[in-house]
Structure 1
Amino acid sequence: MARKNGRRRFGWVRKLPSGRFQASYLGPDGQRHNAPDTFAGERDADRWLVQVESVIMRHEWMNPNRAKVSVQEYAERWIAERPGLRPRTVHLYGWLLTKYVTPHLGAVQLGQLDTPMIRQWRARLLAAGVSESMTAKAYRLLRAVLMTAANEDRIIPRNPCQVRGAGSENPDERPVLTVAQVFELASRMADRRYRAFVLLAAFATLRWGEITALRRMDIAPDASAVRVAGAFVELPGRGLVYGPPKSRAGLRSVALPEAIRADLLAHLDEFTASAPDAWVFTGQRGNPLRRGDFNPRTGWKKAVADLGVPHLHFHDLRHTGNTLAARTKASTKDLMARMGHDSPRAALIYQHATTEASREIAAGLSGLVERERGGGKDDDDGSAGVLVPVG
């Protein structure tokens, strides 16, 4: 009941000059709060106060004034205060926010966001020609920001990012080279100093930033292993920034196959300075290698075109190496360690997506068919050759 003995037990209701009614109440913070909308009748205002009182009694009340912060202000603060983000990740989040989120939703207050508004924002991005992959990245960022607002800061009652499938990406299948193609690609590098660079990317499954950050002391004396101790990221306005690998699991030691050790040792002898902290791979002036130096110096585009895979990206070498490693039937844990992943998700993908595995399944199915057909020939009911469904 909103009234007791003729007096309102919780909150206040007053009639406005317009004839509508305004409800207000004293919140747990000691401040007076007005309902976000006015009501056509006094009973409607009473019912709203009853609902608010119930929320307060369940200790679920959220200060509506805090939800007045704009999406842009809260998201920028979220990025700045997020612990452990690498410089490249901070740059990416800021770029996604500025490019795709704030132009559409930046001025909206958190408390005004709802799922239909999020759905319309996503539809506008796609209609404007933004790729599904980039739209999914922007959506995942906004979802993470609002998850903090709902679950940790308790500014909004729930995360409005509830659009089914909006955060999923379905990128095109990337090419996987054969072992012979990897060595042929390495031999096609216009500058011999990058032959070992290609081989390490494929057979040690190292990321670009991890390879360019290698120093002589990170290579075992017999080139049997390589230690990943850091990585370079290239940031606009700051150039190359050295820091930790992409994840905690990125700090690792990777055993190298014997087939590429001689190439790596030859590279160290010919192209790497003798100091223990000398960079293994360098640009024209002996500085750490930058992406802008790689393509023109190595003739990458011509090499991959001559190889018959003109759309091959450098990162596809790591993809190739991970696929080859999975074909050795290594365990999920071992694949995770080699790839430098904290989560088993990527390792499981490679384990279940190899061509050999697919061929083994196909061979197994063929065996089932043959056994069914073979068994049918001995039957007396004339059903030879008919496949019987197996429950």
Structure 2
Amino acid sequence: MPSPRRRRFGTIEALPSGKYRAYYRGPDAKRHKAPHTFYDEGDAAHWLRKEQKLIEFDEWTPPHTRAQSKEDAARTLGDWMKEWMALRSRGVDALEPSTAANYWKDINLRILNVPGKAGRLRDIPLTQVTKRDIAAWWDAINADFAPTACHNTFARLRTALNAAVDRDMIPVSPANLKAATHKPKTKRKELPDAKVMQAIIDQLDHTKPRVDGSHKLIAILTFFHGLRIGEALGLRRQDVTIKDDTISVYVRGNVYRTKDGMIRKDRPKTEAGHRNVPIFPNFHNDFTWHMDTFVGDSPDAMLFTTGTGHIVLDTSYRSILNRAKTRAGHEGLRISPHYGRNWAITTLAEAGMPIPAIGEFLGQRDLRTITEVYMRATDERKAAVLDAVNSMLKK
């Protein structure tokens, strides 16, 4: 290979490929090379002349920072949200598929594909996004979406912009609106009544007209045993133990919804979710009937499937549950599968089970959530305690 040809400014080097490489010593005393090689020696010389002029007119910056600046100028906030989600989908800190699906849903609905004024944010270059831009977007989405959905989307946006700060793409994050950081107040769930839940479950029995009974066990597991809906739908035959007069299910998996249906993963929602849940004997007949009627013999056979063999959609089950609620005469009642956790926590606590044991039964590691959010005494229990205290005062 011929030796590099030195010039008054810079050096041009012929490469074995037939191309040319150009480089020079800059004002910072460091060597800087062209961002690419050249097919023609004259093109390499032209690049060096342009660099020399930048130095002469005191407009020089290192070539690699100029290339980075062009890339930054072309990257919009919408582009970065997509890049950031790609980063969060791999590596040691990758999001769970179900969590990533929720992130994408928020980002698509309220940033990438939102119409009107809110849609302007996605097209602003990332390096030029201001707090005012964020505020305008926030005000626009709050006019069209529920407060909780807006709060969740802002949380995704703020985390993505903080990641841009960590990568030195922007100096500070403009997503620092106080109004957007306050979590919306949610309606407190009413403590469900066991008789009401049982009346709804009865409407899912196979003896009812036009009901095949395949969804009754889902209601039993979520209402009276505190399983999350994804945990119940993720159960397989191998997760069920029937021995003597006992039945139990071992929660070791979960399901999440995608555009192609429900996908099972071999982990529950949380690490604390791994647990063995004994089934109350009151429901043993329902349990064994479901296993004999709907569940295949394979250890991997899912407990809850459609006629085509797919895992039951959580949305489909909620619709069926709502229809059963109406048939039971409780059409206006606000109740969901998750309400069963309220019932289980309160009932077990009133029966004397220690809080840590309740946490193990429900797969709830944060015991403060049990005491501050879920557990509430029933009116009957409060009245009994007050009567007991009153009797003590009389003595």
Q: Confirm or deny a common fold (TM above 0.5).
A: yes
SS in 2 for 1:227: strand
Aligned residues: 315
SS in 2 for 1:166: helix
1:379 alignment partner in structure 2:
none
- Identify which of 175, 180, 204 aligns with 1:161: 175
For 1:236-385, what aligned pairs fall within 5 Å after superposition? 236=259, 238-243=260-265, 244-291=267-314, 293-294=316-317, 298=320, 300-304=322-326, 306-310=328-332, 311-325=334-348, 327=350, 333-341=356-364, 343-344=366-367, 346-351=369-374, 353-355=376-378, 359=382, 363=386
CA distance in structure 2 between the aligned counterparts of 1:293 and 1:322, rounded to whole angstroms: 26
Q: CA RMSD in A?
A: 3.9
Is 1:177 matched with 2:192?
yes
CA apart distance, 1:232: 2.2
SS in 2 for 1:193: coil
1:117 alignment partner in structure 2:
133
Is 1:74 matched with 2:80?
yes
CA distance in structure 2 between the aligned counterparts of 1:26 and 1:309, rounded to whole angstroms: 69
CA apart distance, 1:107: 1.8
1:7 alignment partner in structure 2:
none
Is 1:104 matched with 2:120?
yes
The 3 A distance-change label for structure 1 pair 357 and 125 is farther
- Identify which of 88, 91, 97 aligns with 2:98: 88
SS in 2 for 1:124: helix
1:133 alignment partner in structure 2:
148
The 3 A distance-change label for structure 1 pair 292 and 93 is closer
CA distance in structure 2 between the aligned counterparts of 1:332 and 1:171, rounded to whole angstroms: 24
SS in 2 for 1:259: helix
2:257 alignment partner in structure 1:
234
SS in 1 for 2:180: coil
CA distance in structure 1 between the aligned counterparts of 2:223 and 2:347, rounded to whole angstroms: 9
TM-score by length of 2: 0.66
Aligned amino acid, residue 317 of structure 1? G
CA apart distance, 1:93: 1.7
Is 1:195 matched with 2:211?
no
CA distance in structure 2 between the aligned counterparts of 1:71 and 1:323, rounded to whole angstroms: 46
The 3 A distance-change label for structure 1 pair 358 and 295 is closer
- Identify which of 134, 142, 147 aligns with 2:157: 142
CA distance in structure 2 between the aligned counterparts of 1:322 and 1:166, rounded to whole angstroms: 32
Aligned amino acid, residue 154 of structure 2? Y
CA distance in structure 1 between the aligned counterparts of 2:368 and 2:132, rounded to whole angstroms: 31
Is 1:205 matched with 2:221?
no
SS in 1 for 2:133: helix
CA apart distance, 1:141: 1.0
CA apart distance, 1:252: 2.9
The 3 A distance-change label for structure 1 pair 115 and 315 is same
SS in 1 for 2:263: strand
CA distance in structure 1 between the aligned counterparts of 2:380 and 2:78, rounded to whole angstroms: 47
Once the two structures are superposed, what CA deviation does each residue of 1:117-153 show, in whole Å capped at 9, x if it has no partner? 32221111122x2111111111111111122222x32
The 3 A distance-change label for structure 1 pair 347 and 66 is farther
CA apart distance, 1:302: 4.2
CA distance in structure 1 between the aligned counterparts of 2:355 and 2:171, rounded to whole angstroms: 39
Aligned amino acid, residue 100 of structure 2? V
Contiguous gaps of at least 5 residues in structure 1: 1-9, 11-21, 34-62, 375-391
SS in 1 for 2:276: strand
Aligned amino acid, residue 253 of structure 2? G
CA distance in structure 2 between the aligned counterparts of 1:279 and 1:264, rounded to whole angstroms: 14
CA apart distance, 1:332: 5.2
CA distance in structure 2 between the aligned counterparts of 1:65 and 1:329, rounded to whole angstroms: 66
TM-score by length of 1: 0.67
The 3 A distance-change label for structure 1 pair 278 and 32 is closer
CA apart distance, 1:173: 2.7
CA apart distance, 1:214: 1.0
CA distance in structure 2 between the aligned counterparts of 1:196 and 1:285, rounded to whole angstroms: 19
SS in 2 for 1:284: coil
Aligned amino acid, residue 115 of structure 1? K
2:54 alignment partner in structure 1:
none
CA apart distance, 1:354: 4.6
CA apart distance, 1:162: 1.8
Aligned amino acid, residue 340 of structure 2? L
SS in 1 for 2:123: coil
CA apart distance, 1:203: 2.3
SS in 1 for 2:162: helix
Residue pair 1:67, 1:110 contacting (<8 A) in 2 also: yes
